[in-house]
Structure 1
Amino acid sequence: MHLDFSVDNLADAEQQLHGLGAQLASHQPSDQRFRVFLDPAGHLFCVTTAEVAAAIPHETDPIW
């Protein structure tokens, strides 16, 4: 499973995530609309803005 989180501001979210122990992954998308992080256990997750997330076509409904 892969998680994407939407935030208001990527730079602010990056700073907050670093404070919680997340680290930027070595590979980052070249378009700068996403940030790829590793949680303290080493799991990948992405952060993007709500505007970008809304523009991405979803193949399936969210799992609740």
Structure 2
Amino acid sequence: MSHIELDRERCEGHGTCEQIAPNIYQLDDEGLVSILVDQPLPDELVGAAEAGARVCPLAALRVVDGS
């Protein structure tokens, strides 16, 4: 099963992940990304999670396969 790794210290709140996958990523009250879905990721959300992670300009997000 895949899961999202988040490095909040790298996040600068650009919000590109949220624009691509708003059902998975959201900027919180501090302006930093938070993950909206339970982990491990359901199979049907892996593609969207990967797309959102790919557009992060600071590589603060990564989808990894835990199996």
What TM-score do the two structures reach when normalised by structure 2? 0.29
Which is richer in strand?
1
Higher relative contact order (CA 8 A, sep 6+): 2
From the CA coordinates, give the structure whose radius of gyration is larger: 1
